[in-house]
């Protein structure tokens, strides 16, 4: 899944570039879109499952400014016993060139809404998460 974002005035801080906290919003917007398209969000709500980010590691390679056109893409990197890791990139598209301006690894768990405990990623939940990678987006090798 990928979303496109044009950097607007309200994305910019006093230093005239996108503040590092905004990158987290861009990444989250793509994750919601990505998981929504795969019906994971709807399925989780129906099954009283809550998804929670527990760790985010972000790298910032280039400043992003007003008017920049960005593409945010996501893929599943690892699926463990109780947690999964999503890899994401923000790519600036300018004059026919594409460059990674940031990337991130987001670790999340699934919590059973009835017991309030982290769930083992198995059976239908594992299938839903694995299905997220059915489409290949254009990641740039780092």
* CA pair distance 32, 24, nearest whole angstrom: 12
Q: Which residue in 13, 112, 123, 137 is the catalytic one? A: 13
DSSP the chain: -EEEEE--GGGB-TTSSB-HHHHHHHHHHHHHHHHHHTTHHHHHHHTTEEEEEEEEEEEE-S---TT-EEEEEEEEEEE-SSEEEEEEEEEEEETTEEEEEEEEEEEEEEEETTTTEEPP--HHHHHHHHHTTSSPP-PPP-
- Does residue 13 have an active-site annotation? yes
Q: Which residues are catalytic?
A: 13
């Amino acid at each position: 899944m990928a979303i496109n974002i044009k950097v607007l005035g309200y994305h910019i801080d006093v230093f005239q570039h996108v503040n590092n906290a905004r990158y987290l919003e861009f990444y989250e917007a793509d994750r919601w879109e990505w998981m929504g398209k795969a019906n994971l969000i709807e399925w989780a709500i129906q099954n009283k499952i809550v998804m929670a980010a527990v760790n985010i590691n972000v790298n910032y390679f280039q400043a992003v400014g007003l008017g920049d056109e960005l593409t945010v893409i996501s893929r599943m990197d690892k699926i463990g016993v109780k947690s999964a890791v999503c890899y994401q990139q923000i790519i600036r598209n300018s004059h026919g060139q594409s460059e990674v301006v940031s990337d991130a690894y987001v670790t999340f768990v699934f919590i059973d809404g009835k017991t309030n405990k982290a769930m083992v990623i198995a059976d239908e939940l594992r299938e839903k998460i694995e299905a997220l990678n059915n489409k290949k987006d254009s990641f740039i090798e780092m």
